[in-house]
Amino acid sequence: MRVADRSATGARADTGGDPQNGAGARAGTGARAEAGGDARQAPESAETGIPEGTLDRPLIVRAAIELADHDGVAAVSMRRVATELGVGVMSLYRYVASREELNDLMVDTVFGERPLPEPGPDGWRAKLELSAREEWALYRDHPWVSYLVAVTTRPPIAPSLMAYTDWRMRALDGHRLDFATMVQVAIMIGTYLQSAAMPLAHEAQAARVTRHTRQQWADARQDALHRTMRTARLPMVSEFGTEAFQASEPENIFEFGLHRMLDGIATLLEQV
């Protein structure tokens, strides 16, 4: 079902916020150049698209998020979002200036749906663990987010994402760490989580393409794996069995790495 098939009232209730949300009318030469062939698409139709006057930035962002959840973030384009909404692609540029800005808004929205509590639990360790679990849960719900925040040296401009870093730094404040070290610790936690979540994104994409689960893939590769183990000189890896396979699951790697990272931070705080 297309996003446009939902009632406009329900869509607005889902996304909330001011229809304009501070966005200026940024169509024109720059938007047309980025859209490329999208500019030739037929204008929106009142019969097939959303009701006239109901298109707004939150609705566009929600459509993009739903598309990414279902088909992966690579499937998200201004043209595809316009198709899902049943409108002409150029109408989107009145609210979202570019695909890059759409990425920013998607990330900001999903992080904004999981705000960290104030003041949070007592103690720096409990606070950092809570923040890590909340972010991990976000990546489980929206695996594609890790593609936008991890595989880049130019992270999204997303205040809700930045709020996680700020919250972690405040959890460390008052423990004799200098500001630069607090920045490094907070970013280290986020970087660990984003990297640990990448397999979730890859698995979601592989499952969409192959229609096979990771377990089904592993079962189908058993003969090739056994042949490799018999011929390769890998004395430790060759001992892999069911227990080791389970230990290598992303969820278990996350748990193991999280506690080791918190232990390391505890050691750091003892040394200052």
Give the pLDDT confidence of 56-95 residue by residue, as tens digits.
999 999 999 999 999 999 999 999 999 999 999 999 999 9
Contacts 24+ apart (CB under 8 A), 13-18: 14/62, 15/56, 15/58, 15/59, 15/61, 15/62, 16/58, 17/57, 17/58
Measure the CA–CA gap between 127 and 179, rounded to whole angstroms.
18
Closest by Cα among 162, 149, 132, 177 to 272: 177
In the numeric block, which tokens belong to residue 165?
Answer: 């870093």
40-51 average pLDDT score: 50
CB of 200 closer than 8 Å to CB of 145: no
Domains and CATH numbers, the chain: 57-97 (1.10.10.60), 115-271 (1.10.357.10)
Q: What Cα–Cα distance (Å) separates residue 194 from each residue in 60, 74, 201? A: 25, 18, 10
Nearest to 77 by CA among 106, 54, 51: 106
pTM beyond 0.85:
no
DSSP notation for 189-240:
HHHHHHHHHHHHHHHHHHHHHH---HHHHHHHTHHHHHHHHHHS--TTGGG-
Q: Using 50, 70 and 90 to split pLDDT, how confident is the model at 52?
A: low
Higher per-residue confidence, 209 vs 28: 209
State yes or no: cis peptide before 58, omega within 30 of 0: no
Token pair, residue 167, equals 């919250």
CB 106 within 8 A of CB 113: no
Average pLDDT over residues 120-138: 97
Q: How far apart are CA 32 and CA 57, in angstroms?
A: 18
pLDDT over threshold 50, residue 45: no
pLDDT of residue 64: 98
DSSP string covering 68-114: HHHH-GGG--HHHHHHHHTS-HHHHTTT---HHHHHHHHHHHHHHTS
Distance CA 178, CA 25 (A): 43
